Chain A
Amino acid sequence: MPSLKPGSRFTSSVCTTQVIVVKGAGEVDLRCGGAPMLAAGAAADGGLPAEGASGGTLMGKRYVDPDETVEVLCTKPGDGSLGIGDALLDLKEAKPLPASD
């Protein structure tokens, strides 16, 4: 099971999705397309996202679990949906801050 910490990166084993962890720590059953995600740099196994986990990911969007204990940012989009175990993560609605730079 992947061990999460802010800044760690994971790649989908069944699609092109890549994520970076924004929030969350410890062992988490992070999945994409229904299959466990791999540490960044690992080659995809091939295969297709499982039914029910094939909604796809969007570039630059954040995904959270219902308690917001885990938050990941999509750095490369793909066809799989992100989840923890069988529960899918939700797209986090952004509350944009005013530009300060």
Chain B
Amino acid sequence: MLLEMAADGFGDRVALGPSDGGLTYRDLYDSAGAASVRFRADGGSHVAMADLSSAALPVSLFGAAWAGLPFVPLNYRLTDDELAALASRISPAIIIVDPDSPDRLTGIDGIGLLSRRALMDLVDGADPPEPEWDMTGEGTAIELFTSGATGEPKAAVLRHRHLVSYVLGSVEFMGAHEDEAALVSVPPYHVAGIAAILSNVYAGRRVVQLPTFDAHDWVTLLRAESVTSAMVVPTMLTRIVEVLDAEGPDGPGLPTLRSLSYGGGRMPSPTIQRALELLPTTAFVNAYGLTETSSTVALLGPDEHREAMASADPVVRARLGSAGRPLPTIQVTIRDDLGDEVAVGQPGEIWVRGEQVSGEYRGSAPRLTADGWFPTHDGGWMDADGFLHVTGRIDDVIVKGGQNVSPGEIEEVLVCHPAVADAAAIGLPDRQWGERIIAAVVLHPGASASSDELRDTVRDRLRSNRTPDHVEFVGSLPYNDTGKLLRRVLRSDLAHLGDGSTG
């Protein structure tokens, strides 16, 4: 329906690729229709994709919706065994695959493979069928497997009504000017990768894809395509800032970039502050959301970034690290362990409610309360003006001597130390305290700082029970490719720093 409106409203605009010779909205609509015929003929229950971003992504995404089948973007970086396990769970299905690795996923019962190239050849110039699709929005649009950080991956279910609510609630139809282009470097199996396609199609903004993120390539492509907006995860922005810094004060900068949004993890404050300095004319947007909430539920807007950056008031200044305010279509509350709302400024769990919130996993009932509230498992607090501060996953909270300690606040202090490039705080078993606080620290090349110096830095800024019991210097921290810190991996790598007790 969203694509149909785009094709009707501005069919001749370029939807995808270079401004000269890219795929128009009419082309994309026709291709999605032709793809739907192929998907239906297959007779499977799902359409999946285990491939990098390409034109086949929007064609398959909209084609699957047209065919009334759930679209399942799979993480092509998984091992063959892990990928095969996920494929069996959605069988019978057709899976779009990378023509360069045709042997992956062969021989699985009920799984048919279609290479990206074969799909694009098939839909090229084909006539679409008459539109005919489910109008209720109850059908499943997307199943997204979570990264499985805490065990077996679960498939989050987003129905058409959730995604349509998100897009209608946050994007103005044809809101983009004809010269606007969005650079998408987030992979398809991240909810932001899907939201980017839907939002930009509805806004009429041309999409330029960078299939594999590299900061140099990102900057080069952005300049070549005169990109006006982009979305990045924090680890990407850190690399981009390094590239721009290396070009020096006389470098070309990114003058075409009007808007840069970021989300998907905690943004180190040195990175965002440096980015604001390097890109003085770019509007920064911090978007907070989860897969289960159809992407963004709260935003820190451009003016709020600059106000916070310029303010001497610590409350306003702290908003630079906040997720901003909820979307107009979303309600947010902070609740304690018993599910009761806490007072303004008090920490608790972030709960959200709105039409776009699914909170549903395949094979189980939605995890919404009877009146529609979803517990995010993220910790946070709200300031007096309604700015939401996200402190991290509740499961990552360190419990030392009965006190809850958010790793995020320790990490934030550490990364502001000039010698520190990156930092993570974790809890490891301790007989006396339940957990001890271990800080894993990556220093800038050539920089030095002692363990005591870093512990003192934290002690000076935070309450003394936040001081790390031990600082471990490491060469790098484990991240997945969408910039999420793998705390479980770190806990296991540093397990010898605990005392082996089981709490």
Partner of A99, one of B5, B136, B259, B328: B259
Residues from chain B with a CB closer than 8 A to the CB of A94 are 172, 175
Leading 8 A-B pairs by shortest Cβ distance: A60-B173, A100-B287, A101-B199, A101-B196, A7-B137, A98-B285, A101-B195, A100-B261
Q: Which of A41-82 contact B (CB under 8 A)?
A: 41, 59-61, 73, 75-76
* Given known A98-B259, A101-B295, contact A59–B231 (CB-CB < 8 A): no
Is B355 an interface residue, CB under 8 A from the partner?
Answer: yes
Contact B168 A73 (CB under 8 A): yes
Which of these, B164, B168, B302, contacts A98 with CB under 8 Å?
A: B302
A15 to chain B, nearest CB (A): 15
B200 at the interface (CB under 8 A from A): yes
Given contacts A59-B5, A60-B174, A101-B196, 14 further A-B contacts (CB under 8 A): A9-B135, A95-B328, A96-B172, A98-B261, A98-B283, A98-B285, A98-B299, A99-B171, A99-B199, A100-B295, A100-B299, A101-B182, A101-B199, A101-B296
Contacts of A60 in B (CB 8 A): 5, 9, 172-174
Q: How far is the CA of A65 from the CA of B470 in the complex (A)?
A: 62
Q: How large is the interface on B (under 10, 10 to 19, 20 to 34, 35 or more residues)?
A: 35 or more
Determine the chain B residues whose CB is within 8 A of the CB of A75 once the complex forms. Answer: 1, 4-5
Q: Which residue of A lies closest to B195 (CB)?
A: A101
A41 to B130, CA, bound (A): 13
Do B175 and A96 touch across chains, with their CB atoms under 8 A apart? yes
> Does residue B359 face the partner (Cβ distance < 8 Å to A)?
no
Q: Please state if A7 and B136 are interface contacts (CB–CB under 8 Å).
A: yes
- Known contacts A40-B135, A76-B8, A97-B299; decide if A61 and B173 are in contact (CB<8 Å): yes
Which residues of chain B (286-330) have a CB below 8 Å from chain A?
287, 295-296, 299, 301-302, 327-328
Q: Which residue of A lies closest to B186 (CB)?
A: A101
Pick from A6, A7, A8, A100: contact of B170, CB below 8 A.
A100
B59 close to chain A: CB less than 8 A: no
User: For the side of the interface on A, what is the size category?
Assistant: 20 to 34
A17 to nearest B CB, angstroms?
12
Residues on B close to A: CB < 8 A? 1, 4-5, 8-9, 135-137, 161, 164-165, 168, 170-176, 182, 192, 195-196, 198-200, 203, 205, 229, 231, 259, 261, 263, 283, 285, 287, 295-296, 299, 301-302, 327-328, 355
A91 partner residues in chain B, CB cutoff 8 A: none
B325 CB to closest chain A CB, in angstroms?
11
Question: CA A1 – CA B161 in complex, angstroms?
Answer: 23
List 26 A–B pairs whose Cβ atoms lie within 8 Å, in order of A's numbering.
A7-B136, A7-B137, A7-B161, A20-B164, A59-B173, A60-B173, A60-B174, A75-B4, A75-B5, A76-B5, A94-B172, A95-B328, A97-B171, A97-B327, A98-B261, A98-B285, A99-B176, A99-B261, A99-B285, A100-B199, A100-B261, A100-B287, A100-B296, A101-B182, A101-B192, A101-B196
Whether A99 and B182, one on each chain, are in contact in the complex, defined by CB atoms closer than 8 angstroms, is yes
Judge if A84 is at the interface, Cβ distance under 8 Å.
no
Tell me the minimal C-beta distance from A19 to chain B in angstroms: 12
